[in-house]
Every structure is written in structure tokens, then in C-alpha cells.
Amino acid sequence: MASKAKGVLKKAGCNTAGDAFTALNEYMYWLLEQAAKRAKANGRKTVRAHDFMS
């Protein structure tokens, strides 16, 4: 994932700091945890796309 993110940032004309992907990784884990909580709160075990949007 880091290489794809780096490519997007490079295409946008940006450089990446050494700690950028550590923060991105932590944020991704948080997003996944939030989506799982929303799915469970709605009585599902399956995480759907809209679970990431709320």
C-alpha cells in the first residue's frame, strides 16, 4: 500500500516524509476498526463500503 500511496503523492508533485506512512498505517487501522464497529452495530459480520463512509 505504501508504494501506491507514494505514487499518488509523487504524481501530485509531493514528497513524503519518513513518518508519513507510519501515520497512514495507523489511520488505516483506525478506519478498519471503525468500519467493523459499524457493521457489528448493524448486526452484520460483513463490512461494506458504506461502513467506511459514516
Domain housing 53 = 17-54
pLDDT single digits (tens) 6-52: 999 999 999 999 999 999 999 999 999 999 999 999 999 999 999 99
Residue 24 forms part of a structural domain? yes
Cβ neighbour number for residue 27 with a 10 Å cutoff: 10
- How many structural domains does the chain have? 1
**Residue 40: how many CA atoms within 13 Å on its side-chain side?**
6
pTM, rounded to two decimals: 0.80
Q: Is residue 43 part of a domain?
A: yes
46 belongs to a structural domain = yes
Judge whether 5 lies within some domain.
no
- CA–chain centroid gap for 53, Å, is 11
